Structure 1
């Protein structure tokens, strides 16, 4: 009788193993096997991280194996199981891989196809077409769109983390609990001792050092020592946490009542004001324009107000909307419209890992009414919601295409605008990702017509446009994709947004925001309406009180940490692809990324302010914090 060698790999994350009964059935072109209990006598099967092998004998020849069915039946208590993959050695010596990388919960079952990526047009056998259709029908019931707030991109229909499908939940919810992380951060930073003075002011700038931890972080210490200097103030708009606002002005705004004579002493390059161009501001008697030539504390407080405003724009728009929420849209559409066998699903699934979960957790604890955001930030209590609603109107597809976004702001000239490392490193990473996606697209789509006729792909793109972008034509998001080149670009947008862009605006938060006066989350007094009246005492009383400073420091610390098992760009430990050409493309991708790491490391040598947020070895694959 024909015999198959079945190898079963259990996940290595916490609670991945199971004591339940596991049954296997084989579905072939010539017949189906009976259910076989996978069990070794006197042996504990399916332990966490285990790879177990079994001999399965069938009564008759099954032909070409098309599907493997796994059933889990309760042994004693509720016991989820994470199945990584199954491999099959046939009686003829063939070796077949069945990737899974999914949880099987309760009295559940799962039906797997072999690991070869297939477009819908490649499936001619009825049972495979049916499997494909049923998978999407099931997923569309699990992954439902929901409007969390009017005007927001739609999100997942789940009130809390435990309501999510098990496959997209965190392995351990404790690790991403915002309340626990903030508390842990404040314990690690030894700042809990100030919480009893929650609403009291600091004495002076030096007093903030009581909660500033001098860790091995040269950037945060340099910010503390030089934050009052104009050079440090300006540099942050190039390479700080929010390097996406600065744009090149080509003419003076009409409403800017500033003359060359007013700022002549600050124009170090002996250029006229028209040549330098300053920022726009609406004139008014009670809205003075502060200048570097003003009194020291007038100018300092004006800069602090700019830094505080920049902090809120960064957190709410640059970070929350343009990385977290956008990546969630891509993730939901992916699960709803692309089956696991689709090459685009296999390519993108690593880049939406835990994104829906972290956003759900944020809606549950962080940005909800009375959440942690309300406690620590001036835009809490609904202001952050209004900011997102307004910013959605400017959220366009082209603004997510990195080279286009840089060019649109007039910041693409390395000769005229040097030292813009966010631009320089970002372009290198974008090009590496686009080269990789173009290779993968070329493997599965031989011409543009195949792209246009891939209905599952078109449904994915349409879902993003209709639900994520709310069908807003002005967003410029495509409703369909008709060429290999445009598909490669679209995939690059998805991957770059989730990995590089998020890394660039997230992991520098402790560096640039831990020194409270450089990034105040709240300002307790309105801006001055006249010059010559600001004192250092007034500035300190305007800055956050002790309690909110502590909350803020805990937040930027927690948000800047990598996960213990972080997966960085180019790392694909879950082998959804089994084809050699794709694996070779991944190898080339990693080599390109390693070369970028070397370029950035060489550039950063001996720099007092190194820029490393877009070094690929520091770019996680997905938005997961």
Structure 2
């Protein structure tokens, strides 16, 4: 009797993993004594060949200290669960294969097997070493009557004593709906999801993989300073918000509803950047920015206030062209940090120089033109706020009992003076008037914002005309402030008209700056943070809690979640937190994230689909005869034209993929995991909006296809469009200021006289000063970069992500379609008739080109919100 296995036959396997760090691989002390694997003993002598030394040491650490047990997908034990095979251990370390990637190590393993065991569908792994390692994949070869089986793992495995069940389980790359799961694997599938959900109690620990929900109660720190207290976002009608990953930390002493900040945030272990990922490099840069650069600048500016001002546009350009001298001490703490050496050049401790932003690489002054001001509303970093003007004068949706009359004071006479004989009625009827409207977003907060030190801001409206050549022309800017006797008394407004000579031209330039300050704040807080980062996190949590890795929708969405929870945690810790970078360098200051909560009240998931968004803003109408079924109000609208190509490719891929697994609507309704997933997305992840009627009911294939397409669009193309142009456009602070410190000067004041005498000085004293510029440029340069190991739309990190040949073929088709789109975008950028694609600054619109190289490229669509 040979027992369960016929030992005359063995299955050969290859295990690919990455040690915790390159140092651990040479550290025999990292091996923990005891356990089934036995004690690794003996001294390994030095070997002249470095590669040989690494191989020997790696084998010594991991062989007999990492064990595996196969689980059958076809044969059951006495309880009806898949048979579990005998424990077997890693063997020798193999020479690193070129296809594995940097620092990935391969190991031999052999499993005993007989025909009664059947086909493996999963395996248990137990780590007896002291340190965790990253398990990349396991491949089983030549299984009789079956062939090769791939396990795509991509998970950190800790010492077995850290886990309640001791063993970690991984499933083969098969795809099953819950009802189609092989009987022997059902229990294992359900158990793994239960582990990922946790029990909702306790403080989370580093090794855990538990996904749970919490409100944003960790942005403030009242224990340190009452000024750092912030309201809890989420869980109330006053401050609704998407949910974040729960950490379970203790409450602050002064506010039991707020969570105590920590230097390191918990997140499910597999959500952390891989130890080789170059985004770790960028992450370290953000931490260093908040922990080193910010305090250094604070100390300098507290003692030398005069250095905080730019004295000329040339001095701003020196940030990129020759460098600027900084006071001693500013760079001493950060000069040795590699990320800062990469993103800007330093000369000892005295000169700082940023890379030149794309917007001024060809021409230094075209950013000042009205044409470029308007073009960036449809081809800049925030191209999805402008809308068709359908009524005149523009109206407000703010409650008049709280904010009085907020109707626009712009008149027809204001506009028609620059409309070349076209009347307002004719332009409205011809869909030629557009508006960039920040009245309702800023007005409720403007009294508080303007009470902040140095802040002097308006809520702005900008009306534009679509010209015969397809470009947009600004006609008027309305600048509004709350009534000085009370917000409920309405707005005090002034209208500024275009001018190109004298003091009026300076006033017009300042008015445009105030518009862009509104736009910069709205972009960073709403278009970027809220509408991509924050709203996506609940989908990630729900997917991991409710959809098994065997589920087809998990496999569809998983690549679009890579690194998002990690970067969001980093943002809460260093960027959007009280006193953090965003509050420091953007207009709303301490009210920044609170303002995004107000905007979230009106967030609609279904509106995030690009065609729906365009129609809602009046930027397109349905037209079956037009490309993509839409006719654009502005034919040459780069974001929309390129975006619709990408959207259609995504939706076609999702439709083909979903149809492989759901032949009918009934299959959707009967999928227990899918229904639990969507219920949790709505009722928990976006629980503050759960009663909204617009949520899909998830009863039809079309609802699933549209919802998954929207999630993928948000995480990939939408984020790319609003993120990777930040430094190319905003790196030149004159073009995209983030702060306004003065209102438009009134005649008879010294500020007015200064404006007459020195327009540049007036502009520079109005916008972002030097310290905040350095902070802002540093962070957006980091955020605008692509990592070296970025994975782009149409790519996967492992070609064996599924065993379904039809799914693989559909995905290949998706990749080919994206390559075709890239060619089309490139061709459009060469068409001189499409003036909005280059504009006066001669910067082609490339943000939605799917691929990119590493670095600051102004192109590329990563699969996920990874930075």
Q: Same fold (TM over 0.5)?
A: yes
CA offsets 1:106-147 (integer angstroms, 9 cap, x no match): 22632222221001100251x411111111111111111010
Superposition pairs for residues 146-545 of structure 1, below 5 Å?
A: 146-148=214-216, 149-150=232-233, 151-158=240-247, 163-172=266-275, 173-180=280-287, 182=289, 200-213=308-321, 218-221=358-361, 224-253=364-393, 255-268=407-420, 270-276=421-427, 277=433, 279=435, 281=478, 287-293=493-499, 295-381=504-590, 383-412=591-620, 416-473=633-690, 475-476=692-693, 478=695, 480-528=697-745, 533=752, 534-535=755-756, 536=759, 537-545=761-769
**The 10-residue stretch of structure 1 (6-15 or 520-529) with the greater mean CA deviation from structure 2:** 6-15
CA offsets 1:169-228 (integer angstroms, 9 cap, x no match): 1114443135356499999xxxx9999866621112222112135857543435742122
CA offsets 1:88-123 (integer angstroms, 9 cap, x no match): 432456322222222211226322222210011002
Name the structure with the higher helix share.
Answer: 1
Give the number of equivalent residue pairs: 616
Whole-Å separation in 2 of the counterparts to 1:40 and 1:420:
58
Q: Find out whether 1:94 has 2:147 as its counterpart.
A: yes
Task: Give the direction of change, closer, same or farther, for the CA distance of 1:204–1:564 in structure 2 (3 Å limit).
Answer: same
Q: Is the 8 A contact 2:527 2:722 kept in 1?
A: yes
Task: Give the direction of change, closer, same or farther, for the CA distance of 1:257–1:216 in structure 2 (3 Å limit).
Answer: closer
Measured after TM superposition, the shift of residue 7 of structure 1 is: 2.0
Whole-Å separation in 1 of the counterparts to 2:719 and 2:283:
17
Measured after TM superposition, the shift of residue 44 of structure 1 is: 11
Q: Which of 67, 83, 90 matches 1:38?
A: 90
3-state SS of paired residue (1:541): helix
Task: Give the direction of change, closer, same or farther, for the CA distance of 1:263–1:443 in structure 2 (3 Å limit).
Answer: closer
Whole-Å separation in 2 of the counterparts to 1:174 and 1:54:
34
**The 10-residue stretch of structure 1 (470-479 or 456-465) with the greater mean CA deviation from structure 2:** 470-479
Task: Give the direction of change, closer, same or farther, for the CA distance of 1:133–1:527 in structure 2 (3 Å limit).
Answer: farther
Whole-Å separation in 2 of the counterparts to 1:278 and 1:119:
48
3-state SS of paired residue (1:98): strand
CA offsets 1:496-528 (integer angstroms, 9 cap, x no match): 000000000000011211111222122222344
**The 10-residue stretch of structure 1 (59-68 or 360-369) with the greater mean CA deviation from structure 2:** 59-68
**The 10-residue stretch of structure 1 (109-118 or 302-311) with the greater mean CA deviation from structure 2:** 109-118
CA offsets 1:352-375 (integer angstroms, 9 cap, x no match): 000000000110111111222232
Measured after TM superposition, the shift of residue 418 of structure 1 is: 2.4
Superposition pairs for residues 527-566 of structure 1, below 5 Å?
A: 527-528=744-745, 533=752, 534-535=755-756, 536=759, 537-566=761-790
CA offsets 1:415-471 (integer angstroms, 9 cap, x no match): 641221101111110000000000110111111100111111111112211122225
The match for 1:587 is: 812
Q: Find out whether 1:79 has 2:303 as its counterpart.
A: no
Q: Which of 115, 119, 137 matches 2:194?
A: 137
Whole-Å separation in 2 of the counterparts to 1:509 and 1:531:
38
The match for 1:5 is: 12
Whole-Å separation in 1 of the counterparts to 2:514 and 2:817:
41
Measured after TM superposition, the shift of residue 397 of structure 1 is: 1.5
Measured after TM superposition, the shift of residue 275 of structure 1 is: 3.6
Whole-Å separation in 2 of the counterparts to 1:405 and 1:153:
20
Q: Is the 8 A contact 1:99 1:114 kept in 2?
A: yes
**The 10-residue stretch of structure 1 (441-450 or 21-30) with the greater mean CA deviation from structure 2:** 21-30
The match for 2:79 is: none
Structure 2 gaps, min length 5: 1-7, 26-57, 77-82, 161-165, 199-209, 217-231, 234-239, 248-261, 322-353, 395-406, 428-432, 436-460, 462-477, 484-490, 622-630, 833-837, 852-859
The match for 2:80 is: none
Bigger radius of gyration: 2
Q: Is the 8 A contact 1:13 1:48 kept in 2?
A: no
**The 10-residue stretch of structure 1 (572-581 or 280-289) with the greater mean CA deviation from structure 2:** 280-289
Whole-Å separation in 2 of the counterparts to 1:542 and 1:85:
60
Whole-Å separation in 1 of the counterparts to 2:94 and 2:106:
16
Measured after TM superposition, the shift of residue 63 of structure 1 is: 2.5
**The 10-residue stretch of structure 1 (233-242 or 279-288) with the greater mean CA deviation from structure 2:** 279-288
Q: Is the 8 A contact 1:323 1:497 kept in 2?
A: yes
TM-score (norm 2): 0.66
Whole-Å separation in 2 of the counterparts to 1:346 and 1:243:
31
3-state SS of paired residue (1:95): strand
Q: Is the 8 A contact 1:350 1:622 kept in 2?
A: yes
3-state SS of paired residue (1:616): coil
Measured after TM superposition, the shift of residue 476 of structure 1 is: 4.8
Task: Give the direction of change, closer, same or farther, for the CA distance of 1:106–1:480 in structure 2 (3 Å limit).
Answer: farther
Task: Give the direction of change, closer, same or farther, for the CA distance of 1:226–1:154 in structure 2 (3 Å limit).
Answer: same
Q: Is the 8 A contact 1:465 1:477 kept in 2?
A: no
**The 10-residue stretch of structure 1 (490-499 or 277-286) with the greater mean CA deviation from structure 2:** 277-286
CA-atom RMSD, angstroms?
Answer: 3.2
The match for 2:168 is: 110
Q: Is the 8 A contact 2:215 2:242 kept in 1?
A: yes
Task: Give the direction of change, closer, same or farther, for the CA distance of 1:400–1:328 in structure 2 (3 Å limit).
Answer: same
Q: Find out whether 1:624 has 2:860 as its counterpart.
A: no
The match for 1:600 is: 825
The match for 1:62 is: 117
Q: Is the 8 A contact 2:581 2:776 kept in 1?
A: no
TM-score (norm 1): 0.91
Task: Give the direction of change, closer, same or farther, for the CA distance of 1:436–1:196 in structure 2 (3 Å limit).
Answer: farther
Whole-Å separation in 2 of the counterparts to 1:435 and 1:231:
36
Measured after TM superposition, the shift of residue 586 of structure 1 is: 0.7
3-state SS of paired residue (1:242): coil
Whole-Å separation in 1 of the counterparts to 2:103 and 2:308:
50
Whole-Å separation in 1 of the counterparts to 2:265 and 2:133:
14
